[in-house]
Amino acid sequence: MKKLSARRRHPLAALVVLLLALAFTGGLYAVFAPASKAQADQTAQSLAIDEGKKLYAVGCASCHGTGGQGTTDGPSLVGVGAAAVDFQVGTGRMPAQQPGAQIPKKKVIYSQAEIDQLAAYIASLGAGPAIPSAEKYGPEGADIAKGGELFRTNCAQCHNFTGKGGALTYGKYAPSLEGVDPKHIYEAMQTGPQNMPSFPDTTLSEQNKKDIIAYLDAVNSDDTVNPGGLSLGGLGPVSEGLFGWIFGLGLCIAVAVWVAARTAKAKKS
Amino acid sequence: MSSQDIPEETLPAERGGTHVPKPADDKNPFADPGLPPHEHRIQDIDERAAKRSERTVALLFTVSMLATIGFIASFVAIPQDKSIYVFPIGHISAMNFALGLTLGVALFTIGAGAVHWARTLMSDEEVADERHPIEASPETRAKVHADFKQGAKESVIGRRKLIRNTMLGALTLMPLSGVFLLRDLGPLPGTKLRHTLWSKGKLLVNMNTNEPMRPSDIGVGSLTFAKPEGLEEHDEGFQNEIAKAALMIIRLEPDSIKDKQELEWSHEGIVAYSKICTHVGCPISLYEQQTHHALCPCHQSTFDLADGARVIFGPAGHPLPQLRIGVNDEGYLEALSDFDEPVGPAFWERG
Amino acid sequence: MSTAANDAPRSRGKAPAGERVADWADGRLGIYSLAKANMRKIFPDHWSFMLGEVCLYSFIIIILTGVYLTLFFHPSMNEVTYHGSYVPMQGQLMSEAYKSTLDISFDVRGGLLIRQIHHWAAIIFLAGMFVHMMRVFFTGAFRKPREINWLFGFLLFVLGMFTGFTGYSLPDDLLSGTGVRFTQGAILSMPIVGTYISMFLFGGEFPGTDFVARFYSIHILLLPGIMLGLVVGHLILVFYHKHTQFAGPGKTNKNVVGMPLLPVYMAKAGGFFFLVFGVIAAIAGIVSVNPIWAIGPYRPDQVSTGAQPDWYMGFAEGLVRAMPGWEINFWGHTLVLGVLIPLVIFGVFLALIAVYPFIESWVTGDKREHHILDRPRNAPTRTAFGVAWVTAYMIMLIGGGNDIVATHFHLSINAVTWFVRIGFFLGPVLAFIVTKRICLGLQRRDKEKVLHGRESGIIKRLPHGEFIEVHEPLSQEQLHTLTAHEQYEPAEIGPTVDENGVERKVKGSEKLRAKLSGAYFGEESQIPKPTVEEYKEITSGHGHH
């Protein structure tokens, strides 16, 4: 103790005390903080990444490279973020079946748990947009009308007024948004899958995205009311013209045939 | 347009000079046998059948009356915003559906009743009506010509040339007043089509957030639409200005930009193109981030935004105009000048 | 008063009221002489003769519903904020025109129905006119004396297109605004005057604040006014010329066989109006058309994919979509061929069918009246020309909807456009050749039927074991009907030396005509119809074979 008291005036003593205090506080924190949960999360996270890596090696690596660095058959996945994985795999677009102008939506072959594992692995390769939480695309606090205006400015040019889809160059197309999970719509805006440009939060704010999703839900869902009646696919004048020709004029002509036909004559017995 | 060069005999023989039924004879098996004899309908000979027809017609008319009552009832009783689900049509307005069907039935059954009446109960004996040549007889023709000559002669228009010529002059000049009256329909073009609201130092304002943008806001592969600062949706003349000033902003990797001028006018790979198609002016913005193509939804003109917005397909005649951009002292994206060529569709004076 | 005694036998008090009213009107309007000529006028019965009625009735329906719509529509481009009952538009800025259209759809009871009847009737009106025109064309009903009426009908079709287009533009929604923008771009492409016309039409730069009001007066007054006049003229001429009829027993070029206006046609035609109206009203109650609330108000910086005009402008749209982007710059000017050429083709292509009757009558040199209709097969060149025209039209309609075709058949839009580009030139040629072959084949079959009778389907075994099919001879009615058509002979260039031995110059037009006539009526272009001699030779002696 003498030794200790002898050195307490040492210039570095303060530093040592500080370090000890810090260590003590840290120790206290370690004792009182929910250490076990943090550890568990950490473990779960790394477990998910490990599981994801395994899934990746089996289902994705052949095109995207063993480390997600990309090959001639598939782009690099470094930095695309969990949202991109959740969108691509969650809508069944990935894994792709065959090369083509565009990878179509298919039956989803991974469970949501597996998708989350894959997403965790890809997210670990480089920072990117995370999977949005439910309140981000939920209907609370959304302005439908504003969403409509935003939709017409940013989305309708490819996806049609009410999201029925449309053609792009050389066999590519903007798919119909009917029945698409709001989460996937949100992720698509964030990440810009395939040829769709991205609409990051810096240029299309989170509120904007929420509004757009709410608008789509209002005009393009199973419960959407089409006051006028049968919407003919919502494709506009082409389907209306076709219907007018085939059924409108067709019915009028059918009636005309009846009007002009000769009445049956009495049978000669 | 004369037929005098064609000998008469090459024209086919006039057919059916008379419609007196000719009996089939050995001479001409193709001869017109005349109208076939009239056959009776069941309603003509069986009063019970005729009664049935009468009842059918009356039923149709009654249905029409009921449908009209239904129409009025629907109009009064159905709330206008009520929607119903009708398989397989979907969720539709109850009122529109009810009104349309009742009106349709009310009208259709009146028609069906009348036609059924005509078809089954009115005489269906076909009769022939004579036609007469449309053109007048030679005597009438001669008379009209003579009358006209007489009238023209009495008017002395042929003799008094001065009257005729001044009258024609007056009648020719007169409509000019009408042409002039149309002058104030609109202003002269001047150079209106050559300028937009963009000018040096104008900030690029994001259409979505209504905020100016920093280069870091715009990621590679993203698409943003911008308007010049100070232009607000509520402004008078907003429509006219945005019709020329609308901007499409994308970001490319600088080394993927093939066109030298495009690279020069861009900022860190951020390029700003007019959103208005150079074909007929649709807002073109179907941007494919992997191919860098922008497609016009109206007529499919396709522009390569990585190559000076060159036209690679479709009816547009020249590339989209590019706006020179840079950043101001505060780090916001700004225009460095107006477009250096007119935006939108080409026109005669464009050059 | 002194004449009162003479009138005594027609005791006024006792005549039925209707008769007295008619007498009164006749004394002032002379209705009896009109009625004498027309009350029992004969109309032939055939479903295809009622196509024109579909058009007439849909036109009347359009006028009726259109008048109703004017009661609620505000043709104004003032910007207003929406606070009506359609939720997804709350608080949006829009023109009064668009807002009032929303109000008609959501806040006027029955307004939506009337709007939809108006729009459906317009689509059916134009489609009806197209089919009616084709009926008249393919049966040769446009021949003398009906050429003027053909032109009236053609004008009605063209005016109908533009009336429809201006009406489609009135709600100022995003879809129609895009169409108006296209129109403005097309106007700009006109050399020299383009920019001026655009500035005058829109009252300045596009979109300005004037065009809805201007299109409104064009849509509800100017064009329908002209059309109404033409419709009346068209009908008067139909009455005056009396209707054409197909060949058949008892039907000649000098009569018209059918049933009288009163009562049968009054009931049938009057009833048909209600039938057409009923069909359209029911469609409008069941099927949505132009749901402008889903489309949004017009903003020149917004657009949607699948932006098409209504079908009758689809042909022009297709031309514009298929055209390559040609543009010529010279001496500080721009010639926008990419837009100008489609516009010119649009006009020329329509004019082609309009002037066809005059071309044909020049080729045939026939100056007689024709009231008996041709069966299309008996005029193979005309039919082939018509089918070629329709083919080109339909290919361009596909072109106008190339994006929808691409997405729904999983094709590349570029491939569809290339198909249309090539098809526009190749399709009509193929259609012409194929149609002509089919017509000739049908003519041959008719000839066969006349000479050898109808195939009865009964197989007979002859004593020596041969199987033959029994052919039943046709009745005289059928023989007459199948041989009633006329056949022209190709015109030849007359003698090139006149009676004095002086050589005359053969004009180019004369040569052209002889050539065309050869193409129309030469050996390659029609099967000579069976003659009486042929028939007799075959039928005499051999019996049925």
Domain positions in chain C: 4-38, 42-354, 375-493+504-545
Instruction: Report the domain count for chain A.
Output: 2
Measuring CA to CA, how many Å separate C352 from each of C145, C335, C348, C359?
Answer: 20, 25, 6, 10
User: What distance in Å separates the CA atoms of residue C387 and residue C378, rounded to the nearest whole number?
Assistant: 14
What is the token pair recorded at C514?
Answer: 């002889």
User: What distance in Å separates the CA atoms of residue C370 and residue C535, rounded to the nearest whole number?
Assistant: 27
Confidence at A206, pLDDT banded by 50, 70, 90: very high
The pLDDT of B155-160, averaged and rounded, is 89
CATH number at residue B265: 2.102.10.10
Residue B228 lies in a domain: yes
Is C367 in Cβ contact with B3 (below 8 Å)? Answer: yes
Task: For residue B88, say if its preceding peptide bond is cis, omega within 30 degrees of 0.
Answer: yes
The pLDDT of C305-310, averaged and rounded, is 90
The secondary element (H helix, E strand) that includes residue C404 is helix C402-408
CATH number at residue A189: 1.10.760.10
pLDDT at C495: 75
pLDDT at A29: 62
Of A153, A159, A229, the CB nearest to C287: A229
pLDDT tens for each residue of A125-162: 888 888 998 888 888 889 999 999 999 999 999 999 98
Is C303 in Cβ contact with A240 (below 8 Å)? Answer: no
Q: Is it the case that residue A102 has pLDDT exceeding 90?
A: no
Are residues B320 and B205 part of one domain?
yes
Confidence at B280, pLDDT banded by 50, 70, 90: very high
pLDDT tens for each residue of B320-334: 999 999 999 999 999
Contacts of A264 in chain B (CB under 8 A): 41-42
Q: Is it the case that residue B5 has pLDDT exceeding 50?
A: no
Residue A239 lies in a domain: no
Measuring CA to CA, how many Å separate B74 from each of B81, B150, B316?
Answer: 13, 69, 52
Give the relative orientation of helices C476-483 and C413-452 as an angle to the nearest 10 degrees.
130
Task: Enumerate helices (H) and strands (E) in chain C, giving the number of each.
Answer: 21, 10
The pLDDT of B26-43, averaged and rounded, is 86
Q: Report the 3 state secondary structure along chain B.
A: CCCCCCCHHHCCCCCCCCCCCCCCCCCCCCCCCCCCCCCCEHHHHCHHHHHHHHHHHHHHHHHHHHHHHHHHHHHHHCCCCCEEEECCCEEEEHHHHHHHHHHHHHHHHHHHHHHHHHHHCCCCCCEEEECCCCCCCHHHHHHHHHHHHHHHHHHCCCCCHHHHHHHHHHHHHCHHHHHHHCHHHCCCCCCHHHCCCCCCCCEEEECCCCCECCHHHCCCCEEEEEEECCCCCCCCCHHHHHHHHCEEEEECCHHHCCCHHHHHHCECCEEEEECECCCCCCECCEEECCCCEEECCCCCCEEECCCCCEEEECCCCCCCCEECEEECCCCCEEECCCCCCCCCCCCCCCC
Beta pairing, strands C245-246 & C372-373: parallel
Residue B24 lies in a domain: no
Are residues A208 and A176 part of one domain?
yes
C-beta separation of C161 from C236 below 8 A:
no
C81 beta partners? C93
pLDDT at C2: 44
Is A157 in Cβ contact with C314 (below 8 Å)? Answer: no
Q: Is it the case that residue B4 has pLDDT exceeding 50?
A: no
pLDDT at B8: 44
Lowest mean per-residue pLDDT among A95-99, B274-278, C193-197, C446-450: A95-99
pLDDT at C303: 93
pLDDT tens for each residue of B81-137: 899 999 888 899 999 999 999 999 999 999 999 999 999 999 888 889 999 999 999
Confidence at C246, pLDDT banded by 50, 70, 90: very high
Residue B232 lies in a domain: yes
Residue B70 lies in a domain: yes
Please report where in the chains the tokens 């596909």 appear, as a residue.
Answer: C398
Distance of residue B200 Cα from the nearest chain A Cα, in angstroms: 23
Residue B179 lies in a domain: no
C-beta separation of B204 from B247 below 8 A:
yes
pLDDT at C118: 97
- Domain with B283 in it: 194-335
> Which C-chain residues 401-440 have CB contacts (< 8 A) with chain A?
401-404, 406-407, 410-415
Handedness of CA B234, B236, B239, B243 (dihedral sign): negative
Is C131 in Cβ contact with A169 (below 8 Å)? Answer: no
Last residue within a domain, chosen from B83, B98, B120: B120
Residue A227 lies in a domain: no
Is B208 in Cβ contact with A203 (below 8 Å)? Answer: yes
Measuring CA to CA, how many Å separate B97 from each of B78, B90, C106, C278?
Answer: 11, 11, 13, 14
> Which C-chain residues 112-151 have CB contacts (< 8 A) with chain A?
112, 116, 120, 123-124, 127-128, 131
Q: Best of B300, B302, B304 to disrupt the C interface by mutation (most C CBs within 10 Å)?
A: B300
Contacts of B207 in chain C (CB under 8 A): 301
More confident residue, A209 or B2: A209
C-beta separation of A191 from C250 below 8 A:
no
pLDDT at B239: 93
The pLDDT of C365-381, averaged and rounded, is 93
> Which C-chain residues 398-427 have CB contacts (< 8 A) with chain B?
402-403, 413-414, 417
Cβ-Cβ contacts under 8 Å for B242 (sequence gap 6 or more): B227, B231, C299, C300, C301
Q: For the CA atoms of chain C, what is the radius of gyration?
A: 29
Residue A161 lies in a domain: yes
Contacts of C311 in chain A (CB under 8 A): 237-238, 240-242, 244-245
pLDDT at A49: 86
Last residue within a domain, chosen from B120, B141, B165: B120
Are residues A138 and A67 part of one domain?
no
**What percent of chain B clears pLDDT 90, i.e. is strictly above it?**
76
pLDDT at C127: 97
Last residue within a domain, chosen from A74, A101, A125: A125
Confidence at A3, pLDDT banded by 50, 70, 90: low
pLDDT at B27: 73
B333 beta partners? B327
pLDDT tens for each residue of C165-221: 999 999 999 999 999 999 999 999 999 999 999 999 999 999 999 999 999 999 999
pLDDT at A220: 86
pLDDT at C32: 93
Q: Is it the case that residue A14 has pLDDT exceeding 80?
A: no
pLDDT at B244: 93
Contacts of B314 in chain C (CB under 8 A): 321, 324-325, 417
The most distant pair of C-alpha atoms in chain A lies apart, rounded to whole Å, by: 142
Please report where in the chains the tokens 């989209």 appear, as a residue.
Answer: B320
State ipTM.
0.91
- Domain with A41 in it: 36-125
C-beta separation of A223 from B91 below 8 A:
yes
**Chains with 3 or more CB pairs under 8 A to chain A:** B, C
> Which A-chain residues 230-269 have CB contacts (< 8 A) with chain C?
230-232, 234-245, 247-249, 251-253, 255-257, 259-262
Last residue within a domain, chosen from B120, B142, B177: B120
Q: Is it the case that residue C541 has pLDDT exceeding 80?
A: no
| Residue C439 phi, psi (nearest 5) | -60, -45
Buried-exposed string A87-103: b where 16+ CB fall within 10 A, e elsewhere = bbbbbbbbbbeeeeebb
pLDDT at A9: 63
Per CATH, the number for C42-354 is 1.20.810.10
C109 touches chain A (CB under 8 A): no
Q: Is it the case that residue A23 has pLDDT exceeding 80?
A: no
A194 touches chain C (CB under 8 A): no
Average pLDDT, chain C: 91
pLDDT at A21: 75
pLDDT tens for each residue of C432-468: 999 999 999 999 999 999 998 888 888 889 898 888 8
Lowest mean per-residue pLDDT among B3-17, B247-261, C114-128: B3-17
pLDDT at C538: 83
User: What distance in Å separates the CA atoms of residue C396 and residue C305, rounded to the nearest whole number?
Assistant: 19
Lowest mean per-residue pLDDT among A30-39, C466-475, C482-491: A30-39
Buried-exposed string C433-449: b where 16+ CB fall within 10 A, e elsewhere = eebbebbbebbeebbeb
Handedness of CA C56, C62, C68, C70 (dihedral sign): negative
pLDDT at B7: 44
User: Which three-class secondary structure state does DSSP give residue C414?
Assistant: helix
pLDDT at B20: 44
Distance of residue C25 Cα from the nearest chain B Cα, in angstroms: 27
The secondary element (H helix, E strand) that includes residue A192 is none
pLDDT tens for each residue of C81-110: 999 999 899 999 999 999 999 999 999 999
The edge-to-edge listing of strands for the beta sheet with B223-228 is B204-206, B223-228, B247-251, B270-274, B322-323
For C302, the closest chain B residue by CA position comes to: B283
**Chains with 3 or more CB pairs under 8 A to chain C:** A, B
For C406, the closest chain A residue by CA position comes to: A167
The pLDDT of B41-58, averaged and rounded, is 93
For B128, the closest chain C residue by CA position comes to: C257
DSSP state of C264: I
More confident residue, B3 or A76: A76
Residue B174 lies in a domain: no
Is B100 in Cβ contact with A259 (below 8 Å)? Answer: no
Instruction: Report the domain count for chain B.
Output: 2
Q: Is it the case that residue A164 has pLDDT exceeding 70?
A: yes
Q: Is it the case that residue C158 has pLDDT exceeding 90?
A: yes
Are residues B311 and B207 part of one domain?
yes
Average pLDDT, chain B: 89
pLDDT at A179: 87
